[in-house]
Amino acid sequence: MDTPPCTPPATEYPSVDSLHIHYCDFAYEEKGPFRMPVPDIGETTAKTFAELLSGNLMDIYVGKQKRHWLLHRNILIYHSTWFQKQIEEGNKQNFGKVELLDDDPRAFELLVKWVYQGKIDDVSDMPMDKKWYYADACQQLYLLCEKLNLPLLKNQAIDQFRKGCFEAGLVPGPEEMKPIYDRTPPSSPFRKLVSRIAARQIMDPESQSDASKYWQCFETSADFAIDVINAIKEGSGGKLFHDPTEEDGCYYHEHLPGQRCNSGLYKMKG
């Protein structure tokens, strides 16, 4: 018996029946079988899109309040292997039901728009008082995409997050940075982004805060500390600090400011 071709004809997108090997954005997974990238949902044929909107629905509950969505199962597995695994690993009691109780409903709203339309809203079209709120939602969307393995949507989320921060004139604090290091791998571009933001804040001569502002991040993540220090080194342009062993006088003595030093002056001899 002849083996069917592993790729669809060039003139037609893959049918729903073949989505079990073609439903992931990119073949980025380190483990598992190779999967071809799927076309952008907005570029699918009318026939394929109609097929994706057929079949069973899936109950999805998001957040602590268990906000409920009822979405087409075919379109979910078209985009993400994660949903396919939930179906395969489910049992008769929870078949067709998925819980994302640790995730943000705002993020899932954006996911739903992207799943059906292939895009999310642009923060530039929003009023000023909504920009930071949307940027924060995009950060939560990024974390959700990390779980669901959606690299295309992660890229849109981080772009909108950066643009939202810039247009709002705000940056994330340690309470927003910590989840990034808790829920992403060491290679995550979002780690690189927030560590550079922290480094810039620390080095800003006009800032009233110092590195202690990020104590909770330093305390829980050695990776954060290393990334911030490396970002400071990179951002300083390789400028070498003054040699602390060449300091004159009692710079490292213990006494009150302005108090006469009883140890005498100490000067390095050249």
Check whether 213 has a pLDDT greater than 50.
yes
State pLDDT tens for residues 160-212. Answer: 999 999 999 999 999 999 999 999 999 999 999 999 999 999 998 887 778 99
Above pLDDT 90, what percent of the chain? 59
DSSP-derived pairing of the beta strands 97-100 and 67-72:
unpaired
Which are the contacts of 149, defined by CB distance < 8 A and separation ≥ 6? 24, 25, 28, 29, 80, 81, 82
Domain boundaries, the chain: 172-243
In this structure, of 25-34, 67-76, 99-108, 122-131, the range with the lowest mean pLDDT score is: 25-34
Q: What is the pLDDT of residue 202?
A: 92
Measured between alpha carbons, how far is residue 223 from residues 23, 41, 73, 105 in Å?
33, 37, 38, 29
CA distance 241 to 185: 32
Q: Which of 249, 253, 229 is nearest to 241 (CA)?
A: 229
Measured between alpha carbons, how far is residue 105 from residues 66, 69, 233 in Å?
9, 10, 38
Check whether 58 has a pLDDT greater than 70.
yes
Dihedral sign, Cα of residue 186, residue 192, residue 193, residue 199: positive
State pLDDT tens for residues 2-27. Answer: 444 444 444 444 444 444 433 333 33
- Tokens read off for 23: 């439903």
Percent helix, strand, coil in the chain (nearest 5)?
50, 5, 45
- Tokens read off for 88: 């395969």
CA distance 214 to 211: 6
Q: What is the pLDDT of residue 264?
A: 57
Burial call 228-242: b when 16+ CB within 10 Å, e when fewer: beebbeeeeeeeeee
Q: What is the pLDDT of residue 150?
A: 94
Mean pLDDT over residues 118-134, rounded? 97
Measured between alpha carbons, how far is residue 208 from residues 30, 178, 197, 201, 211 in Å?
44, 21, 15, 10, 11
Indicate the pLDDT class of residue 89, thresholds 50, 70 and 90.
confident
CA distance 124 to 190: 21
Which are the contacts of 32, defined by CB distance < 8 A and separation ≥ 6? 81
